[in-house]
Amino acid sequence: MVNFRLDGKIALVTGASYGIGYAIASALARAGATIAFNVRSEENLQKGLDAYKADGINAHGYICDVTDEDGVNRMVAQIEKEVGVIDILVNNAGIIKRIPMHEMSLEEFREVIDIDLNGPFIVSKAVIPGMLKKGRGKIINICSMMSELGRETVSAYAAAKGGLKMLTKNICSEYGQYNIQCNGIGPGYIETPQTAPLRERQADGSRHPFDAFIVAKTPAARWGRTEDLEGPAVFLASEASDFVNGHILYVDGGILAYIGKQP
């Protein structure tokens, strides 16, 4: 019988105090996992803990910047001491800066690369030794459609997410023999508080131009919802995916398969 349960498993989901990370962590918890998450501020830590508590989830929160290797190592050691050795890692923490490439500073470019690509490397590197000792592990990297496509103003983000796709494949290549599976989830355009302004109706009742563009480009004819990511995350975290490795699962309503409607 296929086993999608995560009872007894410990999952670290980075940047999971709200949004996609929170939805994935909550889904893992409902499947039986114990949740640890990190944020960069005391304010977001408390907001996250309060949200999990309101949903009946006893999550363990930590303040840690994923770009700080020493800090990440300390956090992982603390989780191992207080909760247990990590079985599941979801590299969710990330940022995007929408700036035309010729106007983007090197500092801004490096910040996106540091959080979106170097961060997953640092956290994965920290948890893999524990997985090797356990003889199993699941790493899920939150990639993007920008792992495959370019778009104006997101040069740093696309470079980072393209790199994260290849880091996913290489972790698979290097550690698959040790029963460690590393896969990615590539969300499409998802309804979150951050994208809400792009979905607001105009004064005349028409769709926001970007909203209309996304719906027209999506065979499902809608934006994704955070719950659309929950099943794929549980699958990739569970024994059901033990022979799935180095794969990027795009949860995009079909955008990457579709050339678009004729004007």
Please, what is the Cα angle at 18 between 32 and 205, to 5 degrees? 125
Which residue in the block uniquely carries the two structure tokens 């499947």?
A: 31
Dist. CA 31–CA 25, nearest whole Å: 10
157 is catalytic: yes
Q: Is 183 helix (H, G, I), strand (E, B) or coil?
A: strand
Q: Out of 22, 62, 157, 189, pick the active-site residue.
A: 157
Contacts of 152 (CB under 8 A, 6+ apart): 100
Residues comprising the chain, all counted = 263
> How many Å from the N-terminal Cα to the C-terminal Cα in the chain?
48
Q: How far apart are CA 60 and CA 78, in angstroms?
A: 11
Catalytic residues, which ones?
157
